[in-house]
A and B are shown apart, each in its own frame.
Chain A
Amino acid sequence: MSAKITSYETAEIRGPKLAFNLTPENCGRMLMRSKRLLVVVGGDALKMKVADGVDVPEVAARLARNLGGTIVASPGVFKAFQSVSDVKLINMGLEDAVNRLKDESWKGFDGMGAYDMAVFIGGLYYFQSMMLSTLKHFAPNQKTISLDRFYHPNATFSLENLTPDKWKAGLDAMLQLLEAKK
């Protein structure tokens, strides 16, 4: 048996360089290797709690907390992070954030150097796809992981298309793995 990995949007057919499809647990293992993590939370994040039962701001905060990462939250969802105080938090639009990420000379939001991994979660599918495309083409050394429910071919690594239940369970398993290692 073999499974065909397709992007979520039918016509989002990409070229030879496609995201490696990872399980949530393997995403967790990949993330544990990161020394400088940036978690990019998109503007659709709050809707995902209603539609899929996943509290994306909570997932992002746990990720950043466990891996010492920084969160950059799209302005439309920034308010949801107000109770998060123990993680470095930046309010910035995705296009602005990706414009910095693609710049090899950029030293990060804290001036301490480039991020070796950027996690994307909670974006409008088509918008996030294009942001990942920018990085794929113009910052080929910037590793990206999409933790969204749908496969993102333009990321370096991505989850496959999942049902809401499987997505929620997978993210929980991944976070538990990170928290256990910590």
Chain B
Amino acid sequence: MATKISIKELDSQFAKIRGLDLVIGKVVEAGEEWSEPVGPTPYPDITALRGWDQRILARYPPFYSPLSDFCEFCTYGKCDLTAGKQGACGIDMEAHQGKWSLLTCVMGAACHATHAHHIVEYLIKKYGEDHPIDVGSEVDIEAPLIRLIAGIKPKKLGDLKEVLTYLDNQVTQLTSATATGQEQSPIDYESKALHAGMLDNLALEVADIAQVSALGLPKGNSDTPLVEIGMGAIDKSKPVILCVGHNVAPGSEVINYLEDKGTYGSVEVAGICCTAHDLTRYSKNAKIVGPISRQLMFVRSGIADILIIDQECVRADVVDEARSVGTRVIATSDQICAGLPDLTDKTPDEIVKALLTDTPAVLVRNPAKVGEVAARAAIEAAPQRKSEKGLKDEQVLANTSRCTLCRECTENCPINLDIGYAVNAAKKSNLEPLQKIFQECIGCGRCDEACPQSIPVLSTINAASTAKIKEEKFTIRVGRGPIRDTEIRNVGRPIVMGEIPGVIAFVGCSNYPGGNEDLAKMADEFAKRRYIVVTSGCAASDLARYRDENGQTLYEKYPGDFDAGCIVNTGSCVSNAHPIGAVIKIASIFAKRNLRGNFEEISDYILNRIGAVAIAWGSQHQKAMAIATGANRLGVPVILGPQGVKHRRAYLGRSEDNEKWMVLNARDGKKVYGGPAPEHLLYVAETIEETMVMAARLVMRPNDTPKGRMIKLSNYINLHKQLYGTMPDDVQRFVRAETDLPVTMKDDVIPVLKERGWKPIEIPDPTLLDRMVLRRE
């Protein structure tokens, strides 16, 4: 931010000045000015968008499901907040849940902001502050979130530093609001949670455009290569380096070192979680073991010679687990020092020697050094790895013989898998139930901790599934990064008009209620129905781990364009910025709305016009909640799978509350009924049937053209009939005129409308913002 003072001519007793430009703050060089006018909220502070938040929260109030009855935040407590009781500080359960909501989102935002810091600092150190931001020749709007929120147009890596400073400041302020004696209103907590979500989304974009620009990751091309994914895809005959986490810097340096030495082909570099995505974006020869649910399983196999952990989504027991099977560990991030000795200042020779002798787990906070050390140590350690360390069949049977069918494992399973029954069946030499558990298991290992007989349950599940693990070899299309402006030009109009029924993003973690197949089946169904399907992170990995009836993975089956009937993998967690950025770009490119510091107007546009919905079927981490909440502030609804209920908060509308669905018609300023479109902003569904029908409903927007609404209704009614066997109870709320009705469904729907007293309504030019009214009658 800078203030510019221009003095054309000054003649005073002190000085004579002519043509002086004085800039206080950041110096803007000639030709760098951005002509787009600055909107009302560049770099919004924590209350700048409170008015917008209050508008959306009035329509979608927070719905809380407390996970505990107590507040334990200060030494007054524990305080029982059950059923309206206040704690010793005066807080009640609703505000306490608001505080949890904010804390969750702040944790997520802080993770992504820190990640962005680390990657930007690393890249600046390596490539310099002046390295250009370049995310592709067909991407003019290089940073839609930064333009929208910060109000700047970053041109080089150094420009991202001021966005990081803003993130630091805001995250600190939000964290402060969670302390005892600070914020107290649930709605204000939620407004701040929405702010944290927005910051999270901003941080995603900073991190990803920096690495796309400097590391040469794909720049929005649709035809990125297919690479291997799966535990069975890892070539155990080679030295294996496993990278776990989210920051690609150390892993990319491993590849750099191996390439420099000409030995890349002889070493397997693989990853789990989002680092894995970014490794394959960096090099198509890297492999993905799988999503976070495969972390403990694969580490315990002992296949990895070196485990590199960076930041986020790293299990707290991974160092001990790795060491117990002889895998050497290199921690690389300030965020996870893991109690390890810091050898950053030692020479590579010294670190390699330590790793291979008396210090098998170390902290090295220098990515380039990690690259060399990991590569050399893996090559030296591999011959010592005789075979996998997993259990053999006979050990499985021996272990299961101790099972007393107490079902402690079942009762501790977060998704209630009947592990006890399966272990007991194995006792009778029937491994099939354990193999079924393997398919659905989220890999958390809580069953191990629960077993009073000390049966290593998770390892037993793995061992029973050896054949399945070997078969676990699929293909995934490498994350492509941004959505190209040229694609937005093609699909912007049909999306806004509703002719493409919607954009459905499958995102989030792998904490599914019953395995990854459900996720893949949903994505397959929506792609078949010609929605634009987008995916990222662990969800993108899990979509790959499924073959249809013809033996194809979804990435083999569908093209990677941002277009109807395609499946786009944008990449890692931070690549979630791109589907969010795409809806912002639609407002800019198709509707010619200014982005610069203009958050409220763009959100209003998206909420009322762009049929985008995200599905986080396996949401687990605070980051997932932060991303979702950021999307919500922008007007994008999100559906969580059932485990998402433990995030404790949803934003729910009430379809029958007509007053809440009134919008302003921008054409004349009149308040008109826009319908419950979208009905919810954040909803937790129990089953895939509910999720699919809900998604088809949530893509409807007040602005849909008759043709667009016809296509959306056609999918909604069809899915409802297919999955529930009936006409939707609320179909009358979504039909504005008979022209909205799908031709082939008219005979079915019109009698229902008559029976329910339906009357046609005007299709508005909808807005929630008074200032967007063009003319008043």
A interface with B by C-beta (< 8 Å) = 8-11, 14-17, 42-44, 51, 74-79, 82, 90-91, 93-96, 99-100, 123-127, 130-131, 133-134, 136-138, 140
- Roughly how many angstroms separate A14 CA and B693 CA in the complex, as a whole number? 34
Please pick, from A17, A43, A91, A134, the residue contacting B724 in the complex, using a CB distance under 8 A: A91
Task: Say yes or no: A16 contacts B82, CB within 8 Å.
Answer: yes
The 9 closest A-B pairs by CB, nearest first: A76-B687, A15-B69, A43-B686, A140-B83, A130-B65, A75-B690, A43-B687, A76-B689, A130-B645
| Additional pairs, 6, CB under 8 Å, beyond known A93-B685, A127-B642 | A10-B408, A93-B686, A95-B645, A124-B416, A126-B645, A127-B684
Please pick, from B84, B643, B683, B729, the residue contacting A91 in the complex, using a CB distance under 8 A: B729
Task: Say yes or no: A95 contacts B683, CB within 8 Å.
Answer: yes
Task: Say yes or no: B686 contacts A74, CB within 8 Å.
Answer: yes
Which of B8-16, B39-47, B101-109, B646-654 forms contacts with chain A?
Answer: B646-654
Please pick, from B82, B408, B450, B650, the residue contacting A17 in the complex, using a CB distance under 8 A: B82
- Roughly how many angstroms separate A107 CA and B412 CA in the complex, as a whole number? 39
- Roughly how many angstroms separate A14 CA and B70 CA in the complex, as a whole number? 9
Q: Is B740 part of the contact surface with A, judged by Cβ < 8 Å?
A: no
- Roughly how many angstroms separate A31 CA and B84 CA in the complex, as a whole number? 26
Chain A residues closer than 8 Å to B68, beta-carbon distance: 14-15
- Roughly how many angstroms separate A75 CA and B642 CA in the complex, as a whole number? 13
Task: Say yes or no: B412 contacts A14, CB within 8 Å.
Answer: no
- Roughly how many angstroms separate A77 CA and B645 CA in the complex, as a whole number? 19
**Centre residue among B69, B643, B726 by max chain A CB count within 10 A:** B69
Task: Say yes or no: A137 contacts B412, CB within 8 Å.
Answer: no
B interface with A by C-beta (< 8 Å) = 63-70, 80-84, 93-94, 408, 411-412, 414-416, 418, 450, 513, 642-643, 645-646, 648, 650, 652, 654, 683-690, 693-694, 723-726, 729
Minimum Cβ distance to chain B for residue A71 (Å):
14
Task: Say yes or no: A75 contacts B693, CB within 8 Å.
Answer: yes
Please pick, from A11, A75, A99, A136, the residue contacting B412 in the complex, using a CB distance under 8 A: A11
Please pick, from B416, B513, B687, the residue contacting A74 in the complex, using a CB distance under 8 A: B687
Task: Say yes or no: B82 contacts A82, CB within 8 Å.
Answer: no
* Also in contact, A75 and B70, with CB within 8 A (given A91-B724, A126-B643, A130-B645): no
Task: Say yes or no: B687 contacts A137, CB within 8 Å.
Answer: no
* Also in contact, A79 and B723, with CB within 8 A (given A74-B686, A126-B642): yes
Task: Say yes or no: B416 contacts A134, CB within 8 Å.
Answer: no
Interface of B is mostly: mixed
A-B contact count (CB 8 A): 121
Minimum Cβ distance to chain A for residue B647 (Å):
10
Task: Say yes or no: B693 contacts A95, CB within 8 Å.
Answer: no
Task: Say yes or no: B414 contacts A140, CB within 8 Å.
Answer: no
9 contacts between A and B (CB under 8 A): A17-B82, A75-B723, A79-B723, A79-B724, A90-B729, A126-B416, A126-B645, A127-B642, A130-B646
Task: Say yes or no: B652 contacts A99, CB within 8 Å.
Answer: yes
Minimum Cβ distance to chain A for residue B189 (Å):
16
* Also in contact, A75 and B65, with CB within 8 A (given A10-B412, A95-B684, A126-B416): no
A11 and chain B: residue at smallest CB distance: B412
- Roughly how many angstroms separate A130 CA and B643 CA in the complex, as a whole number? 10
Task: Say yes or no: A42 contacts B411, CB within 8 Å.
Answer: no
Chain B residues closer than 8 Å to A96, beta-carbon distance: 652, 683
Task: Say yes or no: A124 contacts B84, CB within 8 Å.
Answer: no
Task: Say yes or no: A82 contacts B63, CB within 8 Å.
Answer: no
Chain B residues closer than 8 Å to A99, beta-carbon distance: 63, 652, 654
B725 and chain A: residue at smallest CB distance: A79
Chain B residues closer than 8 Å to A16, beta-carbon distance: 69, 80, 82
* Also in contact, A95 and B70, with CB within 8 A (given A10-B408, A75-B687, A78-B724): no
A82 and chain B: residue at smallest CB distance: B725
* Also in contact, A137 and B63, with CB within 8 A (given A17-B69, A76-B686, A93-B690): no
Chain B residues closer than 8 Å to A90, beta-carbon distance: 729
Minimum Cβ distance to chain B for residue A149 (Å):
11
Minimum Cβ distance to chain A for residue B650 (Å):
6
- Roughly how many angstroms separate A82 CA and B723 CA in the complex, as a whole number? 12
Task: Say yes or no: B690 contacts A136, CB within 8 Å.
Answer: no
Chain A residues closer than 8 Å to B64, beta-carbon distance: 134, 137-138
- Roughly how many angstroms separate A140 CA and B84 CA in the complex, as a whole number? 8
B685 and chain A: residue at smallest CB distance: A93
Minimum Cβ distance to chain A for residue B420 (Å):
12
- Roughly how many angstroms separate A46 CA and B233 CA in the complex, as a whole number? 36
* Also in contact, A127 and B652, with CB within 8 A (given A17-B83, A93-B694): no
**Centre residue among B411, B412, B415 by max chain A CB count within 10 A:** B411
